Amino acid sequence: MSFSEKWLLPKLAWIGIWKNKETYIPYIGAGIFSVFLYFVFLLISHNDIMYTLPRASYVMVLMLLGSWLLALILVLFLLYTNRFLMKRRAKELGLYSILGLEKKHIAILLFIETGIIYIIVLLGGVLWGVVFSKLIFLFLLNMTRIPLDVSFSFSIKALGSTLLFFAVAYGLNLIVNLFRVMRSRPGSLFQEGKKGEKETKHPILTTIGGILLLGGGYFLSLTSQLDGTIFSDFFLAIFFVILGTHFFFRAGLGYLLKALKKRETFYYKKKNYVTLAGMSYRTKKSASSLSNLCIFSTMVMITLLCTISLAFGMKDILLYRFPYDVEMSFLAEKIEDREGIIKEGERIAEQNKISVTKEIDYVYYKIKAERKGNVFLNLGEDINVWEKEGVYEIQLLTEEEFQRGAGKGAVLEKGEIFTFSDGKSIKESSLILADKNYVVKKEYETFPLIEKREKAVFSQQYFLVVKDREEIERLLQYYGQGEEILHVRMCVTGGEEEKQRFAEQMEGYIAKNEGVINRANGAEQRLEILSMNGGLIFLGIFLGIAFLIFLLIIMYYKQITEGYDDRENFMIMEKVGMTDEDVRGTIKRQVQLVFYLPLFLAFCHTAIALPMILALFGAISLFQEKLVFLCGLGSMGFFFILYVAAYHKTAKVYYKIVKHS
């Protein structure tokens, strides 16, 4: 074999990439972005400094989960976009076969092409990763409130994992391509680009199945509650909606078009006849593309919605979870000087040149009871009380203790009580406690001792205020002796650093006291929440960008496919007597319908998902329904503008191809 023969296949591989650059450049660009994103995630995860930073454990877990999710999405996306490449190259490969290249030569050609693309995307992605990784790392630290004065080192392990992962991903593409070529005849390769997707054998059953799956996913979302099944329901709803969407575009849409064709008064009109015929052809040819446009559009909107809602709702989460800088609980019988704790807090604050802005201390008695309607039952000797539904922790306060924290207000008489629930309101005019009927004089919707969130269901607490200690003793005797607890909460002025320093010094003082039940550094725990939620926002931003890039690539490839198909359709329709204006108008209507139908269905998916998103937000103590709905409307509006702009931008490629007819 001569030198020129040895270099024939590499030369053909390079020429094939260059001559099909309008198809390959977006594919390579998406590959570079994929490598960049995955490499940066691994660089952060494998950075040794992350194991020594405070509160970095949340970030590490999120980055690990993010890299796994990203890996799955990237493999599926690269396999999907590879199909477009092969459809565009099929005719060329068939020509090579006719001109004398054997299948083994074509296999070597494909291997070389894959190798060239692999090298380009790895070099580009890793280079961009090295350049921007430190900036992204600092952005992550800032989002998670982790100290910024840390170093960021390059990781050989991250580089090796990236090389291996994308070698596997592009290797899978190569195997799929080789399998397709080896089992095809040269003549069939010529027709590969024109082939649509296989029609389902049972369109009616598939359509019904799609409707049932979409209905099932929608039902799970609309009826979702914040309970132990919310996360399993969430993933099940995602599975149902994704599968139902594929079934709808694969069979349901075609079945709908066939039904319209049977309406003769509608079908046999000039515009409708051509439009429906073209729509049937397009939906049959690219059902998978339409469903993926819909799914990625939904993913972008939901990711955007969740990220913005979490960012704007952070203050409300912190207010609900940790409204005070310091919280302390003691066995009341062990504390002789109740006021001394308050005075010590004021002294420590003054020592740090800050002041106590809010302080609450009260004594309560904690019991557990099972609620059935307006009756609270004794649990008896049941040791598995928290496994039973309707079991609540109740905090009993005397009127004197309540007025101490709440200020003067309504006065109780014998047999009357005040009630408050930090979650769903009790809404009873009377309660039966210890076989005695108590009249609910007032159920408080706001309470000075704790924040209320109507949608909260986890760790829901009831507060009952009774007349005096005598009533307390009676209830304790019936439900079992409850602990007498002194609870103290404090807020101070200053920034987070001053608050944390104060809380740490108070913790040191508290540890010296007898009877300490628990203590909470609210300032530190707020930083923990900020770190975890900041990591979620960071993950949402980058996954949202990834979904958007993938959506744009799918849209671009679909425009190319439509363009090459319609270039031939233009000529055919003109030959049968349609004017140029009619042809262009018909194809424009078809293309717009094809592109806006997935968007419409994506809006439906996103709107129906809102109740489940609200329930999931409840798990992290974000209960602002109005905020989430407004963020949902804003996200859908913003995405609509973005989608339309992207459609018109990619449509220029389409019209450029068509005008070559």
| Whether residue 573 has pLDDT greater than 90 | no
Query: Hey, how many other C-beta atoms are within 10 angstroms of the C-beta on 485?
Result: 19
Q: What is the mean pLDDT of residues 410-438?
A: 86
pLDDT digits over 262-320, tens only? 565 554 555 555 555 555 555 656 677 788 889 999 999 999 999 999 999 988 888 88
Range 153-184 burial, b when 16+ CB lie within 10 A, else e: eebeebbebbeebbeebbeebbeebbebbeeb
| Whether residue 48 has pLDDT greater than 70 | no
Is residue 210 assigned to a domain? no
Query: Domain check: are 473 and 463 in the same one?
Result: yes
Is residue 611 assigned to a domain? yes
270-285 vs 287-321: helix crossing angle, rounded to 10: 70
| pLDDT value, residue 281 | 58
pLDDT digits over 316-363, tens only? 888 888 888 888 888 888 877 788 888 888 899 888 888 988 888 888
Is residue 622 assigned to a domain? yes
Question: Which has the minimum average pLDDT: 111-115, 577-581, 590-594?
Answer: 577-581
Using CA atoms, how far residue 630 sits from 224, 295, 539, 604, 627, in Å, is 20, 22, 22, 16, 5
| Whether residue 596 has pLDDT greater than 90 | no
CA angle 351, 356, 362 (to 5 degrees): 125
Query: Domain check: are 6 and 19 in the same one?
Result: yes
Torsion of CA 532, 538, 541, 547, to 10 degrees: -80
pLDDT digits over 122-134, tens only? 999 999 988 888 7
Query: Hey, how many other C-beta atoms are within 10 angstroms of the C-beta on 133?
Result: 23
pLDDT digits over 607-617, tens only? 999 999 988 88
pLDDT digits over 149-187, tens only? 556 667 888 899 999 999 999 999 889 888 877 776 655
Identify the domain boundary among 499, 521, 543.
521
Identify the domain boundary among 195, 228, 246.
195
Question: Which has the minimum average pLDDT: 46-60, 259-273, 642-656?
Answer: 259-273
| pLDDT value, residue 283 | 60
Query: Domain check: are 454 and 560 in the same one?
Result: no
Domain containing 74 equals 1-195
CA distance 248 to 254: 9
Max avg pLDDT among 49-58, 489-498, 633-642:
633-642
| pLDDT value, residue 126 | 92
Is residue 203 assigned to a domain? no
Query: Domain check: are 578 and 611 in the same one?
Result: yes
Query: Domain check: are 499 and 578 in the same one?
Result: no
For the four alpha carbons of 627, 628, 634 and 638, in that order, the dihedral sign comes to positive
Query: Domain check: are 539 and 470 in the same one?
Result: no
Is residue 200 assigned to a domain? no
Q: What is the mean pLDDT of residues 103-113?
A: 82
Query: Domain check: are 597 and 649 in the same one?
Result: yes
CA distance 24 to 113: 11
**pTM for the predicted model, two decimal places:** 0.80
Query: Domain check: are 496 and 367 in the same one?
Result: yes
Domain count, the chain: 3
Is residue 201 assigned to a domain? no
Is residue 208 assigned to a domain? no
| Whether residue 29 has pLDDT greater than 80 | yes
Query: Domain check: are 382 and 496 in the same one?
Result: yes
Query: Domain check: are 485 and 549 in the same one?
Result: no
Query: Domain check: are 600 and 620 in the same one?
Result: yes
Q: Quick check: helix, strand or coil at residue 464?
A: strand
Phi, psi (degrees; rounded to nearest 5) at 363: -105, 135
Query: Domain check: are 551 and 503 in the same one?
Result: no
Is residue 206 assigned to a domain? no
